[in-house]
């Protein structure tokens, strides 16, 4: 049995994901800046790390691991690293990157998963635990740890995003890979199908990414102007 987009299973996962995110925001607001919030943050970081490690072990054990597919060069890999760093260290830069990268990029993996196997295969659970965990953790960082984006967050995020973009694109051509889907689109379909052919969709990704980051920053900009001018430092 293979994965199908927008099947009953997929829709149920999306509903469950939405419930988890709402719960994460609700809980986060009530334990904000407390010791409990910090401990739960460590726990979430450990889950993300363990899930990522288990995925590598799974690929190795199955004999699937290849340099073209399994280096930590997917965009979600970088999003996972900065998210875990934010949970463990409370770094403002890492929290900004986590918030913008996950909610503008990694979230698409839940909407259009690039999966070869479905429930109840281990790869199915690893995929959704990893990606739903990223979305939930990025929200937790904002609402429980109160690590909100600061002034200049958009430019910082765009700078580091371009570092990923260039690094992944160069590596893709060097080793005949497709990290970040920068050489061709996922075979199972994704939002990239609506952004033109290669290389046009590479420019479309840039425009969509910038627009998404600005949209994600607007609530904090409005809040800072409504409450007090220096809430975003």
Which band of pLDDT confidence, cut at 50, 70 and 90, is reported for residue 231?
very low
Query: pLDDT tens digit string along 157-199?
Result: 999 999 999 999 999 999 999 999 999 998 877 889 889 999 9
Residue 213 has pLDDT above 50, yes or no: yes
Q: What pLDDT does 189 receive?
A: 78
Please give the model's pTM, rounded to 2 decimal places: 0.93
Q: What pLDDT does 46 receive?
A: 97
From 156, 69, 141, select the one nearest 102 (Cα to Cα).
141
Query: pLDDT tens digit string along 47-88?
Result: 999 999 999 999 999 999 999 999 999 999 999 999 999 999
Residue 207 has pLDDT above 80, yes or no: yes
Query: pLDDT tens digit string along 74-85?
Result: 999 999 999 999
Query: pLDDT tens digit string along 90-133?
Result: 999 999 999 999 999 999 999 999 888 889 899 999 999 999 99
Q: What pLDDT does 233 receive?
A: 41
Residue spans of the domains in the chain: they are 8-227
């Amino acid at each position: 049995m293979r994965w199908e987009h927008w099947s009953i299973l997929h829709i149920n996962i999306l509903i469950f994901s939405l419930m988890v995110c709402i719960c994460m925001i609700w809980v986060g607001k009530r334990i904000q800046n407390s010791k409990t919030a910090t401990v739960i943050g460590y726990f979430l970081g450990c889950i993300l790390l363990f899930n990522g490690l288990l995925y590598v072990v799974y690929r190795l054990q199955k004999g699937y691991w290849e340099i073209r597919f399994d280096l930590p060069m997917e965009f979600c890999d970088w999003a996972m690293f900065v998210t875990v760093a934010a949970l463990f260290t409370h770094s403002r830069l890492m929290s900004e990157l986590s918030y913008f990268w996950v909610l503008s990029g990694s979230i698409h993996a839940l909407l259009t998963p690039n999966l070869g196997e479905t429930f109840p295969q281990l790869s199915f659970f690893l995929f959704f635990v990893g990606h739903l965990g990223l979305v939930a953790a990025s929200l937790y960082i904002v609402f429980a740890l109160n690590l909100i984006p600061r002034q200049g967050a958009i430019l910082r995020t765009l700078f580091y995003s371009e570092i990923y973009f260039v690094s992944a694109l160069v590596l893709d051509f060097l080793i005949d890979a497709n990290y970040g889907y920068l050489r061709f689109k996922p075979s199972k379909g994704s939002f990239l199908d609506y952004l033109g052919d290669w290389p046009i969709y590479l420019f479309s990704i840039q425009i969509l990414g910038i627009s998404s980051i600005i949209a994600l920053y607007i609530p904090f900009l409005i809040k800072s102007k409504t409450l007090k001018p220096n809430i975003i430092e």
